[in-house]
Amino acid sequence: MLECQLVGDDANRWHELNWQVNRPFIMLWVVQQDELDHYNHANNTVYVKKLEQLAWAHSASLGLSIEDYQRLDRAMVIHKHVIEYKHPCLFNEQVACATWISGCDKKFRLQRHFQFIATDTEQTVLTATTDYVCVSLASGKPKPMPAEFIETYGQNVIYESDK
């Protein structure tokens, strides 16, 4: 499970890790026994689940919850995931998991980046990019982002060039 939300803490040493951008949203994950595959590494499906949990936690920290999505009849659904596994994570390894909004066209599309760093080695173990499309929850068809999405996501884009 992801825990220990660490965003906004200037004294937080996790922000000193070699992130691709300044001040990403960070949470910690400690790899559990039931998350291991037959190679005794964190299973690939666990990483995908962590990406989802981290994205939802970040959205909630920005002020958008699942209840807001439901009230607005909108969802940001995954169009494409690109995941690069750089190093395996092992049992009981602590991983700092970060995400940030890397693009928002303020119409239909949103892009989010992820970076996971093993805290003991300070080595990046995973990078990922997810492209989302805004759809109506009722119909599943593409719909423009509501004002709340435009304001929240559009104002929180972090570019790698800002580092």
Identify the CATH number of the domain in which residue 39 sits.
Answer: 3.10.129.10
Instruction: Give the pLDDT of residue 163.
Output: 62
> How many C-beta atoms lie closer than 10 Å to residue 152's C-beta?
18
> How many C-beta atoms lie closer than 10 Å to residue 161's C-beta?
6
- The one-letter code for the residue type at 23 is R
Instruction: Give the pLDDT of residue 147.
Output: 98
Integer CA distances (angstroms), 36 to 72, 106, 127, in order: 38, 39, 19
Overall size of the chain counted in residues: 163
Tokens standing for 132? 């989302």
Instruction: Give the pLDDT of residue 160.
Output: 79
Q: How far apart are CA 162 and CA 153, in angstroms?
A: 17
- Residue 152's domain spans which residues? 2-162
Q: Distance between alpha carbon 134 and the CA centroid of its chain, in Å?
A: 17
Instruction: Give the pLDDT of residue 5.
Output: 47
The three-state DSSP-derived secondary structure of the chain is CEECCCCCCCCCHHHHCCCCCCCCEEEEEECCHHHECCCCCECHHHHHHHHHHHHHHHHHHHCCCHHHHHHHCCEEEEEEEEEEECCCCCCCCEEEEEEEEEEECCCCEEEEEEEEEECCCCEEEEEEEEEEEEECCCCCCECCCCHHHHHHHHCCECCHHHC
Q: Taking the chain (163 residues) in consecutive chunks of 10 residues, what is each chunk's mean pLDDT?
A: 48 84 94 97 97 97 97 98 97 97 98 97 98 98 98 94 67
What is the domain count for the chain?
A: 1
Instruction: Give the pLDDT of residue 162.
Output: 67
